[in-house]
Amino acid sequence: MHDNSYVGVITSEVLTKEGYQVVSLNDVDLIWEQIENTQAELVLLDSDSDGFSTMKLYFEVKQKYRDFQVIVFKTKGFDAMDRIKAAIADALGQKAAPQSDKIKIP
C-alpha cells in the first residue's frame, strides 16, 4: 500500500477503524502475492512509494486483472483521508462513509 511510514500508519489506522481489513506492504512481490493468492478486493497505492514505481505497478495490475480495483493516492491537505475513504467506497460500490473529523497528516 505505501512506504512513507507516517502516511501508512495513519491510513491503516483510519481504514481499520472504518471496518476495512488492511494489509500494509511495501514490496512489489508481496503486493502481487496478496493480489493473486487472497480475496483482496482493492489495492491502495501511495503515489510516493519508495523502492518501486507506483504507476508501473498500477498499469501492470490493470493489464493482468482489468477489473481489479486499484487506487493511487497522494496525501495533500487535511481532508485526504475523507477523499481516500470516499474513493474506496466508490470503487467497492459502497455508500460513502460520513466525513470524519479532519485528520491532520503532517
Cell numbers at 14, concatenated: 483510519
Higher pLDDT, 75 or 12: 12
Residue 101 has pLDDT above 60, yes or no: no
Please count the other Cβ atoms lying within 10 Å of the Cβ belonging to residue 76. 9
**Range(s) of the domain holding residue 87:** 5-91
Question: Is 70 domain-assigned?
Answer: yes
User: Mean pLDDT over all residues of the chain?
Assistant: 82
How many whole angstroms separate alpha carbon 20 and alpha carbon 40? 11
CATH number at residue 60: 3.40.50.2300
Average confidence (pLDDT) over 54-68: 94
E strands of 38-84, at which residues? 42-46, 69-73
Are 11 and 1 spatial neighbours (Cβ–Cβ below 8 Å)?
yes
